[in-house]
Amino acid sequence: MNSNNIISYTFNSKKKENKNIFSSNTPKDIISGTSSGIKNISKGILGGIGSLLVLPIYGAKDDGLAGLIKGVGLGLCGSILLPISGTIMGSVQILRGIYNTPEAIYSRIDGKIWDNENKKWILYNLKDESKKILGESEEDFISKLKEKNLFKGIGNEEESEINELLIKDPEYYNILEIDTNSNQDQIKSAYKKLAIKWHPDKNQANLELADKKFKLIGEAYQILGNPEKKKDYDLNGKKSVENNNIIDSNQLFCLLFGTDELDFFIGELSVSMIMSLEKNDPIEIIEFKQKRREINIANSILELLDRDNLTLNIINEKRQNAIITPFSNLIVNLIGYLYIEIAQNYLDNFTFILNSYNEFKRKIENKYKFSVSMIKIMRNNKNENENENEDKDKDKSNMNNFIDIMLSLITIDIENTIKTVCFKILNDSGVSKEIRDRRAKHLLYIGNIFYQEECNTDKSKEFIIGKISNK
């Protein structure tokens, strides 16, 4: 799956949540019940207004005057029924929230958390969830999907069939130091290991050789990491895949971060997970990988947080190993900022309101940048120019907008993942409250060391564009 499919795939993952017009999920308390109720009432009112305005237009377009009359009738019905339905469903959600509030209060006192997936209060235990999530391999999970007819993965049979053929040119396999029968996971793993080893920013003493090696490794992965291009290459050799100029998210990760040290804190990015799938693969695979990612990060970070001798030297070493490029510096600062915010919210309730406002503001800014960049790209692609200079300006604009989109997606992904991870760590009933408090204090300590300065996003963008241009 290439970068053009990321947005549509991301939006498609929300379909399961939007099957019903009005929400009927169990609200945990009066706050969530009121929020759900207001949303239902708003949907009803907006839906009623929309049906009154839209249905007559579509009716007239499809069937002239008769369609207009029919559309007006349906629009009037919708304008009455939808607000009534929304108000009823909204009121029900508010009442359910009020009814569930006493249970919510007692559950919080008992140390329980709200399980949003199953809509009930539970005593969360990180060890138990780790055994459950990590105990099932990806192969076993895919087998279950196949049994349920949810998995239509194309390319697996083709790939195994091609691996039995005589490979015409093994050069790219040799560059990645893998066998010709390697699967996509092995190809990806080999690429990431070699790309980080030969990243130019880590080999300043031998820059010319590192730059040459890094480009060859990227070139090999672009072909072998794409099942369709790999098939062409295996059958017809290098000539069949010339003029290839597509950058994949795994390449982008190695190109920008230059280190695997950040895996310790953020794991595999969702963008990378999405782009590694075939177009017919179910969204359940991403959900499975994300759960494993969260558990692995949580267990990794606990190696730091549960230490008795967490010193400045230990954290500084982690930070220095992670900061190889301006972009990885931006990510490390984001991690530090989030650690501070999360720890403060846990340790001091008075900072919660201010931090909640900052979080809301940050989300709005990211979504705004994302939307504006998407609109600009669509507008540029719609306006075709024969003028060469205008085309160059358009390509430059598209590159800037693409980087903005990627930054927004990566930022949102990292923030959501870190928050989920920290929520698990700080609400783990498998350890005492004293240990959870110490985890929060250590989290704050790490955050203050990681977050040393406001990073300049423009510098990171310049670095990204420079790296991609020189790829």
Mean pLDDT of the chain: 79
Same domain, 310 and 234: no
Same domain, 280 and 362: yes
CA 149 to chain centre: 26
Same domain, 236 and 264: no
Task: Name 386's Cβ contacts closer than 8 Å, sequence gap at least 6.
Answer: none
Same domain, 240 and 262: no
DSSP state of 155: S
Q: Say which CATH number the domain at 160 has.
A: 1.10.287.110
Domain edge (last residue) among 198, 220, 246: 246
Residue 391 CA to residue 229 CA, distance in Å, equals 28
CB 344 within 8 A of CB 444: yes
Domain edge (last residue) among 83, 103, 123: 123
Residue 373 CA to residue 411 CA, distance in Å, equals 15
420 in any annotated domain: yes
6 in any annotated domain: no
pLDDT tens-place values along the chain, 471 residues long: 444 444 444 445 444 444 578 888 899 999 999 999 999 999 999 999 988 888 888 888 878 888 888 888 888 998 899 999 999 999 999 999 999 999 999 998 888 988 888 889 999 999 999 999 999 887 788 788 777 765 554 444 444 445 445 677 788 889 999 888 888 878 888 887 887 788 776 777 887 888 788 888 888 888 888 777 888 888 887 777 765 555 554 555 555 555 567 888 998 888 777 766 665 677 788 889 999 999 999 999 999 999 988 898 999 998 888 887 777 888 898 999 999 999 998 987 667 667 777 777 777 877 777 777 777 767 766 665 555 555 566 666 667 777 777 778 888 899 999 999 999 999 999 999 999 999 999 999 999 999 876 666 666 556 555 555 555
Task: Name 114's Cβ contacts closer than 8 Å, sequence gap at least 6.
Answer: 28, 104, 107, 120, 121, 122
442 in any annotated domain: yes
143 in any annotated domain: no
380 in any annotated domain: yes
How many independent structural domains does the chain possess? 3
CB 385 within 8 A of CB 439: no
297 in any annotated domain: yes
Residue ranges in 237-283 assigned as alpha helix (H) = 249-257, 263-266, 270-275
Same domain, 241 and 280: no
Same domain, 442 and 293: yes
Instruction: Give the pLDDT confidence score for residue 155 in this predicted structure.
Output: 43
Place of tokens 């390697």: 182
Structure-block tokens of residue 349: 């309730």
Residue 217 CA to residue 14 CA, distance in Å, equals 36
439 in any annotated domain: yes
Same domain, 81 and 184: no
Residue 448 CA to residue 339 CA, distance in Å, equals 8
Same domain, 170 and 83: no
Q: Which residues pair with 122 in a beta bridge?
A: 113
Same domain, 282 and 363: yes
Judged by phi (left if over 0) then psi (alpha if -120 to 50, else beta), residue 453 lies in beta
Helix pair 249-257, 184-197: axis angle to 10 deg: 20
Residue 371 CA to residue 360 CA, distance in Å, equals 17
Structure-block tokens of residue 444: 């704050």
Domain that holds residue 238: 154-246
Domain edge (last residue) among 216, 246, 276: 246
Instruction: Give the pLDDT confidence score for residue 282 in this predicted structure.
Output: 76
Whole-model pTM over 0.85:
no
Same domain, 182 and 230: yes
Structure-block tokens of residue 352: 């919660």
Among candidates 268, 418, 395, which has minimal Cα distance to 338? 418
Same domain, 424 and 444: yes
149 in any annotated domain: no
Same domain, 101 and 159: no
